[in-house]
Structure 1
Amino acid sequence: MALAAKILLVIASIGLIIVVLLQSGKSAGLSGAIGGGAEQLMGKQKARGIDALLGKLTVVFAVGFMIFAILLGYFLKSGA
């Protein structure tokens, strides 16, 4: 059981790293507002949907990481 928790912890941590790196920075909104209006009118809705999806995936991977880390600590402490 500890091996399964280790594997799931590694998957959750790699997923969390990838999702966080794919997100755009908070300062990207300011440069987009100064840069041009065409992208803001046409491409903003698509970017908002992707950012929302990445935000939700970040929460899912973070919760999974915390749960698997706690389970792994429990299994290693109990000797199972």
Structure 2
Amino acid sequence: MYNIIQTILIIDAILIIIAVMMQPSKQQDALNALSGGGGDLFSQQKKRGFEAFMEKVTVVLGIIFFVCALVLVYLSSH
């Protein structure tokens, strides 16, 4: 059981890396973080399409990662 969950954790970690690398670039957001971002205060738009899908995939993979990590901690302590 321990080895199966550890394998799932490793595969999930690789998928998280791939999902993060596939997300669209947010250079404007980084620029706003450095300059204060006052110009885009009222121009917030809801994410749509591929960007929204990749964000959801990343969140789901992150949840799976932490659940597997907690299960591994539990199994290794008992």
TM-score, normalised on structure 1? 0.69
Larger Rg computed on CA atoms: 1
Q: CA deviation at 1:17?
A: 0.6
Do residues 59 (structure 1) and 48 (structure 2) align?
Answer: no
Equivalenced residue count is 61
Task: Quote the Cα distance in structure 1 between the aligned partners of 2:54 and 2:28.
Answer: 15
Task: Quote the Cα distance in structure 2 between the aligned partners of 1:69 and 1:25.
Answer: 29
Runs of 4+ residues deviating >3 angstroms: none
**Unmatched segments (≥5 aa) in structure 1:** 30-47
More helix by share: 1
TM-score, normalised on structure 2? 0.70
Give percent identity, aligned residues only. 33
**Unmatched segments (≥5 aa) in structure 2:** 30-47
